Amino acid sequence: MRILLVEDDNRMAELVCAGLAPDGHDIEIAADGKAGLLRAAGENWDLLIIDRMLPGLDGLGLVRTLRAAGIDTPALFLTTMGGIDDRVEALRAGGDDYLVKPFALAELSARVAALARRGKSRVAESVLRVGDLELDRLSQLVTRQGKKITLKPREYELLEYLMRHAGQVVTRTMLLEDVWDFHFDPQTSVVESHISRLRSKIDRGFPVELLATIRGAGYRLGGD
């Protein structure tokens, strides 16, 4: 597995490399956040191992930038910050796992192996399909019957969520929390208006309507 380690502490970098070497991984090192971002965005990696506190650009900013650019290479944070709030912040920034220093090399190896398996699953699910509707999560291209559908960023996020829950009824509360990151009801029609616009783009002009409103329950993409 090809791994990029973004770590400014030489001793820690050597420790990680030594700990993972027996597993046969190919590990390369970037010594600061900006260099790590350039390499992470410009080359193909199976896994990123990123120190949270980095000069130039911290680990959280690095991963947020990658995720905003549509790069979903699995990322494992290494950090001395072990609080619950710190872990939550890292995961919300787009991290996949979080290992607190000091750590056992056996645990690092196990976590890397788990992320490798998860990364393979991501590749397999890079294209989502519901009927003749397709969403390519790598290129962010949406098509139906081969015709390109242009969506605004929030419409795309909404469609991706619905496609990941195809055939299931999703509630307004679920959409507010998972698509808008609202953990309260803003008392607006933001969900309804976005559903309406999305429906007009993916269903209008096609013989089968995919996006249904389930009265009193929510919405469902696909299914009977």
| pTM over 0.75, yes/no | no
State how far the alpha carbon of 42 is from the alpha carbons of 66, 121, 187, 206, in Å.
Answer: 11, 22, 43, 39
Q: Residue 138 has what pLDDT?
A: 74
- Residue ranges covered by each domain of the chain: 2-124, 127-221
49 closest CA partner among 139, 123, 126, 113: 113
| Per-residue pLDDT tens over the stretch 17-52 | 999 989 889 999 999 999 999 999 988 898 999 999
207: preceding bond cis by omega (within 30 degrees): no
Residue 92 has pLDDT above 90, yes or no: no
Amino acid present at 188 = T
Pick the CATH number of 2-124 from 3.40.50.2300, 3.40.50.720, 3.40.50.150, 1.10.3720.10: 3.40.50.2300
Q: Are 113 and 190 in contact (CB under 8 A)?
A: no
Give the span between the Cα atoms of 143 and 165, in whole angstroms.
Answer: 18
Q: Are 201 and 155 in contact (CB under 8 A)?
A: yes
| Per-residue pLDDT tens over the stretch 128-180 | 889 999 998 878 899 999 999 999 999 999 999 999 889 999 999 999 988 89
Pick the CATH number of 127-221 from 1.10.10.10, 3.40.50.970, 3.30.360.10, 3.40.50.720: 1.10.10.10
Q: What is the mean pLDDT of the chain?
A: 89
Residue 119 has pLDDT above 70, yes or no: no
Q: Are 8 and 54 in contact (CB under 8 A)?
A: yes
